[in-house]
Amino acid sequence: MQFIDLKAQQEQIRPQVDAAIKRVLDHGTYIMGPEVYEFEKQLAEFCGVKHAITCANGTDALGLGLMAKNVKPNDAILVPSFTFAATAEVVAWMGATPIFIDSLEDTYNIDPKSLAQGIQTARKLGFNPVGIIPVDLFGQPADYDAIQQIADAHNLWVMADGAQSFGAAYKNYKVGNIGDMATTSFFPAKPLGCYGDGGAIFTNSDELAAIIKSLRVHGQGSDKYDNVRIGMNGRLDTIQAAILLEKLKIFPEELIARQKTADAYDDALKDVVRVPFVMKGATSAWAQYTIRLPKHIDRDKLIAELKDAGIPTMVYYVKPLHLQTAYKHYPTANEGVLPVCESLANEVLSLPMSGYVKFSQDYAATIKRCLL
């Protein structure tokens, strides 16, 4: 059994993917070929957002957003601590300061109370808070109504890190159509993944979209050889766009299959362990199915037992960012301790998840036996 079964997915669409790659080899426009523009069009339609701009990976998507917002040293950006490093890394790229925020006990997403505290902390330390990067952890959107209310009160922008949540929704909004900007990743293991690196940034603002498109190609102006701003080389390969067009066709069915798998896990495990909580009005793309273990369970021992039974697991994340070497000198919302993040890091365990998990009574019974 695989933790994320990309092989079973490839078997479903291999001939279509081969044909798509062959078309790119035939036309030879490897950079910004027609598939890139077609994929951007379909992405925007899928999310119901005005602009979808593809880029090289999900980290560059976040970086492009910060560059477009002209983030400067002395600016502070509020980010969750219980996330993948990229969310805070891009803030440091700009010479700005990430302020680490605690997580909610139920969804594990950014805690609005801690967020408000973080804004005060940023000001107290002499920084200028300018924006928030909420993360849609494990596939579930953060609580954007609560976040937007705080952002509005303090005149901050919101850039949603949807690297794990492409395909999910918050109330009537699809991920991608949330906040001033939203980003996603097409890393192979993400809900919609390519066969390499890829990412996208979304916005309803014509102005931001034009700046991001320029930044993606070295800050190019209307004359290709007159660069009007400092940018980067952040383009998505045509071959990856061609692959993603094929994967997007089966993605809605995969989302349904992921939800079915999550429901089956819930039914099997809810009496023995804390199963994921999805907010009313939200859906998850189920990037991960993450259980939370009671304190008496030895996680390392459980991981070994599951492994012996042929069931791979992962711990996302062993260490919150505010405790990691590269990030521990940055401020936290409340003086160094983020209690929820710290207990999550000790208690979470992610089980195999994809649209291709073969769920059976036997499988459920094996996990349950290891848990008891």
Binding interface with ligand PLP (CB under 6 A): 57-59, 83-84, 86-87, 135, 161, 163-164, 185, 187, 197, 199
Count CA atoms within 13 Å of residue 265 on its CB side.
24
Query: Is 141:128 a contact under the CB 8 Å cutoff?
Result: no
Burial state string for 40-79 with b = 16 or more CB within 10 A and e = fewer than 16: bebbbebbebebbbbbbbbbbbbbbbbbbbebeeebbbbb
Evaluate the CA torsion angle 36, 41, 45, 51 in order and state its sign.
Answer: positive
Shortest gap between Cβ of 141 and ligand PLP (angstroms)?
Answer: 12
**Least distance CB 43 / ligand PLP (angstroms):** 15
Which is closer to ligand PLP, CB of 142 or CB of 291? 142
User: In whole angstroms, how close is the CB of 175 to ligand PLP at the nearest point?
Assistant: 12
Other CB atoms closer than 10 Å to residue 224's CB: what's the count?
9
Q: In terms of DSSP bridges, do strands 169-170 and 282-283 run parallel, antiparallel, or are they unpaired?
A: antiparallel
- Residue 89 or residue 347: which is nearer to ligand PLP going by CB? 89
Q: How far apart are CA 280 and CA 17, in angstroms?
A: 37
151 vs 163, beta carbon nearer ligand PLP: 163
CB of 189 to ligand PLP, least distance (A): 8
Chain position whose Cβ is nearest to ligand PLP:
58
Q: φ, ψ for residue 265 (rounded to 5)?
A: -60, -45
| Beta carbon nearer to ligand PLP, 163 or 367 | 163
Task: Give Cβ neighbours of residue 362 (< 8 Å, ≥ 6 apart).
Answer: none
- The residue type found at 90 is V
The H or E element that residue 52 is part of is strand 51-55
CB nearer to ligand PLP: give 76 or 86.
Answer: 86
Comparison of 193 and 367: residue with beta carbon closer to ligand PLP? 193
Which residues, 6+ apart, have CB-to-CB distance to 118 below 8 Å? 78, 99, 100, 101, 129, 332, 333
Residue 206 CB coordination number (10 Å): 10
Nearest distance, CB of residue 138 and ligand PLP, angstroms = 9
Nearest to 167 by CA among 131, 207, 143, 138: 138
Q: How far is the CB of 298 from ligand PLP (least distance, A)?
A: 27
Q: How far is the CB of 84 from ligand PLP (least distance, A)?
A: 4
Distance in Å, CB of 317 to ligand PLP, minimum: 10
In 284-324 the beta strands, taken as DSSP E runs, fall at 289-292
Q: In the chain, helix, strand, coil percent, each to 5? A: 40, 15, 40
Residue 288 CB, nearest approach to ligand PLP (Å): 9
Nearer to ligand PLP, 134 or 355 (CB): 134
Residue closer to ligand PLP (CB basis): 24 or 160: 160
Helix axes 299-308, 361-371, angle to 10 degrees: 150
Cβ nearer to ligand PLP, comparing 66 with 86: 86
